[in-house]
Chains A and B, each alone.
Chain A
Amino acid sequence: MIQQLIFGIVTGSIIALGAIGLSMIYDILDLVNFAHGDFMTLGAYLTFLFNVSLNLNLILAAALGIILTGVISLILDKIMWKKLRDKGAGSITLLITAIGLALVIRNLIVFQWGGSNVGFDLPLSQNLNFHGIMISTSGVLTVVVAALLMIALDLILRKTKIGKAMRALSDNKNLARITGINVDNIILWTWGIGTSFAAVGGVLYGLNTVIRPDMGWFLLLPIFAAVILGGIGNPYGAMVGGLIIGISQEMSTIILPSSYKIAVSFVILILVMLIKPEGIFGEK
């Protein structure tokens, strides 16, 4: 029971890291970013590139990989998303573009690194065992990193000018513009934070399992569920939603066959939608 809870918190932390960015990008840019999962994959592969192909220390490689993923999202905004926004592209156009981008990223990854699983250059280590309750070292790292990032995000949103501007923009776009907030600047910050969080999630996911080209794409469904569950556009909701999805998936294996564990999170999603359609942290 406690064991499954711990497994669930690890899984939930990874989902939450992905969900935060998806939620923020939707909120600020009105973009349902289907490529978000593939940015997680890209973060893991770029880290793999620095770590294995260029023989860098894993922590340094992860830092470079995550920053580079964030930078790529900024470049994509400059050369693609901004142009679409300026032309007044509707949300369907943006959505289809994001699906296309997801396919491009994924196939470029297969093209460059092949379809087989790869792993970081790190010896495997056995789990820590506290009186029969196990947690892997990568699991501990996942939870700690995710918690630190969430605290950092909370501080950014509440204490910094950027964060306040983000919240203002999400509350009322027109009012925010009138008060002189530089929207383009905020959009770049949103991309940077959202995508690098996703990349961190991807690296941690790769550390816990393996790195494979469709890892992020398959993670996208639980991430969407987490965003909707927590309340769309609310980063705190995304964190809680991610943890609920992760924990419920693992806890369900106690009573249900494990092949149903993906379905369980969606049953919970439906139940929450029936009782509180706007999501746990959503506003009416």
Chain B
Amino acid sequence: MDYDNLSRRDFLKYSGTLGATIIAGSSFTGCMGGGNKITIGSLLPLTGNLKDFGPPMLNGAELAAKQINEAGGVLGKEIKIVNEDSQTSPTAGNEAMSKLIDVNNVPAVIGAAGSGVSMAVVELAIDNQVVQISPSNTSPEFTDLEDNGYYWRTCASDELQAAAMAKYIREELGHQTANTMVTNNSYGRGFEELFVEWFEQLGGEVLNKDDPVRYNPQATTFTSEVGSANDGDPDSVMLVGYPEEGSIILKEAYNQGVLDKTDWILSEGLRSDSLAEQVGKNDEGDYVIEGITGTTPDPRVAEDAYDNFAQAYQDEYGSKPTTFVPHSYDALTLIALAIQAGGEATGPTIKENLPNVANPPGTETYDPVEAINLLKDGEEVNYSGAGGMKDFDENGDVRTKYCIWSINEEGGVELGEKLELPSSL
């Protein structure tokens, strides 16, 4: 009897450690940068829900570093990137950020990929005077963040995308009603709130706005969530999330017969070439989400800058750059330019010089090497990015244009026509 009670207590105690172990991350990689190197941190996910995005984004930054290093580096030094896996987890991201700051002494960090992780680590960056530039945080919550100028991003806020999506669903597709279904983090909630505002302003009705579906991406199944997302038979459902759980949701929607019944519109977070494959095919061998559409920042607005980058990326890695990859190329380039312009690799210097190298006056260029050389000759530079960014505003935000994307017959992503923003934006 006593034996049973004792071991039972042990069992409970050990199961408690499960919670701790699940949350706790581990990071063993990385080492100190040498005297002839400038070490820049990156906090991108190799595991977790955003693991599809992390590796190509890291490639984007590495490509910029390689081009700059081959042209003689910055201040005569080579740029080296140390990546820590954020695991798409706020807790693991925090540990990784501390490690980058305390062990690697980096002046700037590229990341995180997800808005939720960035929000969890941005305090560390501000307190330690380290510049944080995210290539992909689209949450509107960062615009008004009190960041002392240490937080920047090279992609545009979802304030614009939510408006573009609302206008697309309401005016181009002509839908009267919509439901929302979003991942429960800064990205999903921020997007949803602005979408509701814009959709109603455009004369539509969001049926579930008082009881929105905000799902936990780690849920075991999404059957009930998909059911609630169709309550009231809306004309369309807007889905904001990531491929890992988004593919399960779309598969479930097909199973429940609501994928064709309502018009599903996806955010840019789901724009992935592997999405269709992950959702699956029907018994005729066709991808069940063929023809589904979504909205995304339009990489083509950068025109030559993007083409030039995409070609270099293709030559280096043998594949096409995916979402937010040009933005991480821009992030590394801007950090390098700010260091070159300011004459030293410290957080405060980078922060001071970022607007100087990205905004007018100066010679406009999208080539990192040309930009560095101009700075070395003592001239001013106005960098416009491969990801479509032109200039930073006073909040460290950039603007961009949006377009439609869709899944084609082969299950790949195809970029479609450009979207107009509502005229008041």
Contacts and interface: CB of A to CB of B under 8 A. Distances in A.
Interface of A: 3-4, 7, 10-11, 14-15, 26, 30, 32, 34, 91, 95, 99, 110, 115-119, 122-127, 129, 134, 136, 205, 208-210, 212, 214, 217-222, 224, 228, 232, 246, 249-250, 253, 257-259, 261-262, 278, 282-284
B283 A99 contact: no
Contact of A123 (B15, B17, B282): B282
Contacts of A117: 243-244, 247-248, 274, 278
Contact of A253 (B225, B280, B283): B225
Given A126-B256, A259-B215, 20 more contacts: A7-B224, A10-B223, A14-B220, A26-B11, A95-B17, A115-B52, A124-B255, A124-B282, A124-B283, A126-B254, A126-B257, A127-B256, A205-B220, A208-B221, A209-B220, A214-B47, A218-B218, A249-B220, A259-B184, A283-B4
Nearest to A126: B257
A271 to B, nearest CB: 16
Contact of B47 (A95, A115, A129): A115
B395 interface: no
B308 interface: no
10 contacts: A95-B17, A124-B251, A136-B255, A136-B256, A208-B221, A218-B220, A220-B18, A224-B18, A253-B228, A258-B214
A210 B278 contact: yes
Contacts of B170: none
Contacts of A136: 255-256
Centre residue among A124, A205, A212, A261 by max chain B CB count within 10 A: A124
A262 B247 contact: no
A217 B47 CA distance: 13
Given A34-B18, A221-B22, A259-B184, A11 B51 contact: no
Given A4-B224, A26-B11, A278-B8, A258 B254 contact: no
A218 B257 CA distance: 28
A123 B219 contact: no
B213 interface: yes
The 10 closest A-B pairs by CB, nearest first: A123-B283, A253-B224, A7-B223, A259-B184, A32-B14, A117-B278, A115-B51, A224-B15, A209-B248, A124-B280
A136 B252 CA distance: 9
B255 A127 contact: yes
B29 interface: no
Centre residue among B213, B255, B256 by max chain A CB count within 10 A: B255
B220 A219 contact: yes
Contacts of A219: 220
Contacts of A3: 227
Contacts of B285: 123
Interface of B: 1, 4, 7-8, 10-12, 14-15, 17-19, 21-22, 46-47, 51-52, 184, 211-216, 218-225, 227-228, 243-244, 247-248, 251-252, 254-257, 274, 278-285, 288
Contacts of B278: 116-119, 210
A261 to B, nearest CB: 6
A249 B214 CA distance: 15
A237 B193 CA distance: 43
Contacts of A116: 51-52, 274, 278
Given A11-B220, A34-B18, A209 B251 contact: yes
Centre residue among B15, B219, B243, B248 by max chain A CB count within 10 A: B15
Nearest to B185: A259
Contacts of A220: 18, 22
A30 B8 CA distance: 10
A258 B1 contact: no
B220 A99 contact: no
Contact of B224 (A34, A115, A221, A258): A258
Contacts of B211: 257
A115 B247 CA distance: 14
Centre residue among B10, B18, B278 by max chain A CB count within 10 A: B18
Contact of A7 (B15, B221, B254, B274): B221
Nearest to B278: A117
B8 A258 contact: no
Nearest to B17: A95
Centre residue among A7, A11, A249 by max chain B CB count within 10 A: A7
Nearest to A103: B26
B227 A119 contact: no
Contacts of A32: 10-11, 14-15
Contacts of A34: 18, 21
Nearest to A119: B280
A4 B223 CA distance: 8
Contacts of B281: 123-124
A262 B219 contact: yes
Nearest to A277: B8
A194 to B, nearest CB: 15
A30 to B, nearest CB: 7
Given A4-B224, A212-B244, A249-B220, A95 B14 contact: yes
A26 B279 CA distance: 37
Nearest to B259: A126
A261 B224 contact: yes
B187 to A, nearest CB: 14
Contact of A124 (B227, B244, B254): B254
Contacts of B223: 7, 10-11, 250
B261 to A, nearest CB: 11
B214 A257 contact: yes
B282 A250 contact: no
Contacts of A30: 7
Nearest to B249: A209
B107 to A, nearest CB: 30
Contacts of B10: 32, 91
B118 to A, nearest CB: 20
A101 to B, nearest CB: 13
B62 to A, nearest CB: 19
A28 B1 CA distance: 16
Nearest to B16: A224
